[in-house]
Amino acid sequence: MDSTTIHVSQELFAPAESSSFAGVFAPEELQAGPDTYTFKDPLSWNVLVSNTGGALLVSGTVNGTGTTECARCLEPLEVAINGEVEGYYLLNAEEVEFEEGEDEEFEVLGEDNTIDLVPLLEAAILVDLPLQPLCREDCAGICPDCGVNLNEQSCDCAQKRAQADAEFEEAKNPFAKLKELNL
């Protein structure tokens, strides 16, 4: 079960106060660019919420394992996740003078005094995921012609392709015909 909401207690409204929170996050799936991640087990998170005077700073970690496909061979692949959670929530936003455009950079603590960690957790996970998930650095991928997994099997498609290319080049060469005439 998810536990991704922090209820900010009254003590935390005093400057320099801080409290630790922990819980689990079980997203059904996460989309990271072209890659879809699923999670066999919930991810665990730990954060410290500190009152910096006028704002609550949320910082911590989210850890677990995601499952996706290797970008080259499409085999299932597990990726360790160690994300850094970070958020900043203004208290008493009505007292703060915003510069133009600045208000978009900060969240304001809601009237119910809760913090929804889901956007922070998702952002932390997405930043930590690899740009291109690979089962191994030198994954050979799948053959574009016959579709075998080249890590497990070899095929002669590359060789055939090279040969076909060579024949095509030769056919384009006008001197090839002269050679056939055997002058």
Residues lying near Zn ion in the complex (CB under 5 A) are found at 70, 72-73, 135, 139, 143, 145-146, 155, 157
Angle, CA of 103, 128 and 115, to the nearest 5°: 40
Rounded Cα distance, 170 and 183, in Å = 18
Indicate the residue among 96 and 143 with the shorter CB distance to Zn ion: 143
Indicate the residue among 123 and 134 with the shorter CB distance to Zn ion: 134
Least distance from Zn ion to the Cβ atom of residue 134, Å: 6
* Cβ pair 41, 64 in contact under 8 A: yes
* Cβ pair 148, 155 in contact under 8 A: yes
Indicate the residue among 146 and 178 with the shorter CB distance to Zn ion: 146
Least distance from Zn ion to the Cβ atom of residue 132, Å: 10
Tokens of 40: 């066999």
Indicate the residue among 24 and 157 with the shorter CB distance to Zn ion: 157
Least distance from Zn ion to the Cβ atom of residue 157, Å: 3
Least distance from Zn ion to the Cβ atom of residue 137, Å: 10
